[in-house]
Chain A
Amino acid sequence: MSRIDREPSRVGRIGFGLLVGASALVGSAGLAWADGPLVMYCGVDESWCRATATTYEKETGVKVDMIRMSAGETYARIRAEKDNPHGDIWWGGTGDPHLQAADDGLTEPYESPLLSKLHDWAQRQATIAHHRTVGIYMGALGFGYNTEELARRKLPAPACWADLIKPEFKGEVQMADPNASGTAWTVMATIVQLMGEDAAFTYFKALNANINEYPKTGAAPALAIGQGETLIGIAFQHDIINVARSGKPAQVVSPCEGTGYEIGSMSLIKDAPHMAEAKKFYEWALTPAAQKLAAPAGSFQIPSNPDTPVPPESPDLSKIKLIAYDFTTYGSKATRNRLLARWAAEVKNAPR
């Protein structure tokens, strides 16, 4: 009897010791929940994310918990969290994953009073997604080249998509892997819409002979131009402009045949823990006051609110031939998976 009395006290003591350890772990859990009334998954460049979050905090006093992830990472995370969402708003990032999330019912339908005032392309994005997302900026696709390398090699500057498959650029072109990067998927969809599917695949096979690397992220080719790691890189024009602006010898080109574009989007996450706050942010993010923060942070996309001043560095829309990009077809999972599978089978592994 006496032994039995003694035992539990020891058990208790061990348990207590372990609890102290465990409590250190869990203690932080409680804290995490106390603040951060607005959790923002941010899909644009980190400095733009930070500028937006801190400006909103200053103007409204609402604390913004910002986490920057690529659009693909954000989609994967929202999907994994769907039974118990932690994020409130998904701000920025290329449009396709937003459309995909809308298609999967991961985001919340919402129609802003400002919607009718936005550019057509921003409204179209909302209509396609049944108002589960909305366009906040547009970025035109293009390519760029390293001016120093081009001069050193005494090559003519490329001006059209067709120039990129010329033999003198063998091993000099970089484009992201469309299976990993949304940017490269936009390139694929653009070429398919410009040339038709079979001609497009003939083009990609010819291009494959000139490709030096398929990196995994969309901005990587733009960076590689600046570093001189590649002569030509296919990327969004604003990414190449940003590289050039930091003093690197990069020149952006808007392809002569016409080019596609992305609609950077914003979505409310379904069952968001702070839905009311998220909607307030949503409204604010469509105003010129919010959208003009991009340019000082080094992002030169075209803002979706026509009242926002377009930064002078932005690509001049009047000089870009934009194609009528079909987001319904090329934003659908079936088309994308089919084309990506065909690309992986016929192009990526083709001999060079």
Chain B
Amino acid sequence: MVAWGALALVPWYALGGMPRGVPAWPAAMQALVGERPWLIPVLLALLPATWAVIGPARPRLLVWSAVAGIAWIAVEGFGILHHGWGFEALATLTGSPGPTQPGLGWGAMIHVLALTMLIAHGLARQGVCRGDVFVVGALLLVVGLIVLFVIYPALCILSSALRDNDGGFAPTLFAAKLFGRPIWGLDCLFGPQACGTAWNTVAVASIVGVATTLIGLAFALLALRTRMPMKPLVAFLSVLPIITPPFVIGLALILLFGRSGAVTIWVADLLHLPRTRWIYGITGITLAQVLAFTPISFLVMIGVLQGVAPSLEEAAQTLRAGRWRTFRTITWPLIRPGLANAFLIAFIESMADFANPLMIGGNFTVLATDIFFAVVGTTHDQGRAAVLALVLLTFTLTAFQAQRAWVGRRSYATMGGKGAAGRAAALPGGLHVLSYVAVVPYLLLTIAVYGTIMVGGFVVSIGRDNTPTLRHLMTAFSVEHGVGGWFLSGSAWNSLITTFEIALIAMPFTAAIGIVTAWLLDRQRFAGQKSFEFLAMMSFAIPGTVVGVSYILAFNVPPLALTGTGAIIAIAFAFRNMPVGIRAGLANLSQIDRSLDEASLTLGARSFRTLRLVILPMLRPAVTTALVYSFVRAVTAVSAVIFLVTGEYQLATVYIVGRADVGDYGVAIVYSAVLIVLMLLILLVIQLAVGVKRPGARPASGAGAVTPMAIVQG
């Protein structure tokens, strides 16, 4: 039995710290020698469980003994910390600082895992989930992991909302902070003062939501309903912002439109206008976010438009409706839910965005940056950060719920499997022009921004001294020939390699847990499925800064001492990007007919076998999408990990922020350009690989094989 083995053979402690001496012994030895008697119940709980397995089947006993085992580990884990009792009551009760133990290690991990499997086994024997061990086990495991790595840290930080700075319980202070003017003030409506942060955030998110949705729709209409030239270019541009490191768009906008930006100087000199700082503030944030999030709306809208069967439009036109009338009465009602979806996704993304407001926000404050500076600013007010996080979380979760309620599982797709022939109606003339009006400025701006990024790294100081140079590239990525052969002497290599390493480690884990969760959601029916889905998607709605601080609070001390390791960064990425895997999986699963699973099940295969042999091979596009996007997002994420990095695990984005902070824009930009090019290459390679292997010919959409559409559509 794995559980016994873990107890007897594998060191119980020391996830961190080189195991030396007693703590390195397996639990069984420690318990029997009497060094750490609180481990004995762990052994005891396993006895009935073993009996229940070997002896006559007693599923109830099995479940309870395993649950008792896990519960005791939790109790002793939180009760006895590395410096003594974990609860003050215990210390006063015994009158001593109490025994000590380090964080849990391999043995404990395997043991808990084995116990979980035993519970699954017992529950299945009782007929839960039609007696399928694999389903119960997977479900328990996913729920356990989500509770551990999403819910528990979130509760850790939210509990500090109720305390003052010295840790005392202060509910009145909490109320004062929660309803205070800095968050909810409405001064800007009556005078020149600034409004509360919450309103600022909502305002930006709403504007960005509307703008990106409309531009995205215009893009989609032009791409699908007209013979617009340069479709491949548009598809290419739509991928760019997704792989762009944060801060870079804001930085490029400043270099272009700042008071001494290239465009500003040109226009000011031409028209003899005073140079202003108009870009800083809500205009800049909105512009940067519209640039960044429009591709997502575009991909959503393309998916929605493709779901509108041309035959309906054709029918309308046969009935002598004009092009405008067809659009208004047929197309528009059918894409309305898609519009809502695109709006809410952009709304949530905008709320959680940290980098752009930081870079270009000027005096305009939003919640995400306020949270950061409540923690690291001059006042060090963690309680205020928690309160702000609470507000932000409420907003994002509400938007998220609204999206689900609105769009839900209703299908507005009119495209059946067969007989969807017919030609889509041409766009009404006015709409055609309007679409171009929306799209062309966007495209020009995108080209300008990325032009700046690609050129900016290779001139001395963009805007001031445009002499070409390789100096920045050399600083960051030089390779020298030394005594021991070639070695990487550039200052950026270390962080680049670490970033890719950690992103690669997190990648399979993210994809696996995402796909398994999607499978559970789509193919299984169990009690509490709705809340399970909500939990699984929740990490999408928690802002990165909050995740970072909460991970330190939750995982810095035993029983789960993970900070300072690469593991915690990988875990943070995995659970933050898990919804990507889930959405990719769900989108793909809904295209696979259930009758295939049923056939496999009828032929006597169990669910695990069905998943492995029937479903997984067909899920390959979803798996690839999940892998690619978890990788890309891990490389470009910054806010969640800025508190978790160590000297050894310095990440690329954190390095870029550091350079931009001290004004070293050359290196920051050249590094970003290198990252963008590298990730484009990776995307291309994967697209080629998958494109060749893909069975059958699905209509190529938007960005080709690697469709972010699958993710955002859910």
Contact = CB atoms under 8 A, between A and B. Distances in A.
A and B bound?
yes
B663 A223 contact: yes
A346 to B, nearest CB: 12
A56 to B, nearest CB: 13
A248 B646 contact: no
A86 B646 contact: yes
B404 interface: no
Nearest to A72: B376
B81 interface: yes
Contacts of A26: 15, 106, 109, 567
A67 B565 contact: no
Interface in A289-315: none
A73 interface: yes
A18 B505 contact: no
Contacts of B646: 32, 36, 39, 65, 67, 86
Given A179-B373, A352-B192, A14 B378 contact: no
Pick from A4, A29, A34, A64 the residue with the most CB of B within 10 Å. A29
Contacts of A120: none
A29 to B, nearest CB: 4
Contact of B553 (A12, A30, A66, A80): A80
Interface in B150-195: 182, 185, 187, 191-194
Contact of A28 (B2, B191, B549, B570): B570
Interface string B82-100: 1100000000000000000
B564 A86 contact: yes
Given A185-B378, A213-B280, A349-B194, A7 B133 contact: yes
A contact patch SS? helix
A265 B140 CA distance: 50
A31 to B, nearest CB: 7
Given A21-B508, A219-B663, A337 B562 contact: no
A156 interface: no
Interface in A182-237: 182, 184-185, 212-217, 219, 222-223, 226-230
Given A64-B647, A67-B646, A243-B663, A15 B567 contact: no
A254 interface: no
A194 B120 CA distance: 71
B378 A179 contact: yes
A46 B565 contact: no
Nearest to A32: B565
Given A10-B133, A11-B120, A34 B141 contact: no
A84 B561 contact: yes
Nearest to A344: B182
A229 B260 contact: yes
Contacts of B83: 83
B137 A182 contact: no
B390 interface: no
B595 interface: no
Given A32-B648, A72-B380, A247 B465 contact: yes
Given A32-B646, A226-B663, A80 B114 contact: no
B41 interface: no
A204 to B, nearest CB: 15
Contacts of B254: 227, 229
Contacts of B561: 84
A32 B498 CA distance: 12
A40 B648 CA distance: 11
B57 interface: yes
B531 interface: no
Interface stretch (B72-80, B423-431, B654-662): B654-662
A39 B191 contact: no
A179 B379 contact: yes
B380 A79 contact: yes
- Size category of the B interface is 35 or more
A70 interface: yes
A67 B645 contact: yes
Nearest to A81: B556
B552 interface: yes
Given A25-B509, A86-B564, A227-B260, A76 B649 contact: no
Contact of B258 (A33, A36, A229, A248): A229
A11 B373 contact: no
A50 B491 contact: yes
Contact of B82 (A76, A84, A100, A230): A84
A351 B192 contact: yes
B134 A340 contact: no
B512 interface: yes
A25 B2 contact: no
B378 A10 contact: no
Given A84-B556, A213-B277, A31 B113 contact: no
A75 B377 CA distance: 10
Nearest to A215: B362
A77 interface: yes
A83 B110 CA distance: 26
Interface in A1-24: 4, 7-8, 10-12, 14-15, 18-19, 21-22, 24
A28 B505 contact: yes
Nearest to B650: A67
Contacts of A274: none
Interface string A243-274: 10011100000000000000000000000000
Interface of A: 4, 7-8, 10-12, 14-15, 18-19, 21-22, 24-36, 39-40, 45-46, 50, 64-68, 70, 72-73, 75-77, 79-81, 83-84, 86, 96-97, 100, 171, 177-182, 184-185, 212-217, 219, 222-223, 226-230, 243, 246-248, 336-337, 340, 344, 349-352
Given A50-B491, A80-B552, 12 more contacts: A11-B117, A21-B508, A26-B106, A30-B15, A65-B648, A70-B661, A72-B378, A83-B81, A96-B378, A180-B376, A243-B663, A336-B379
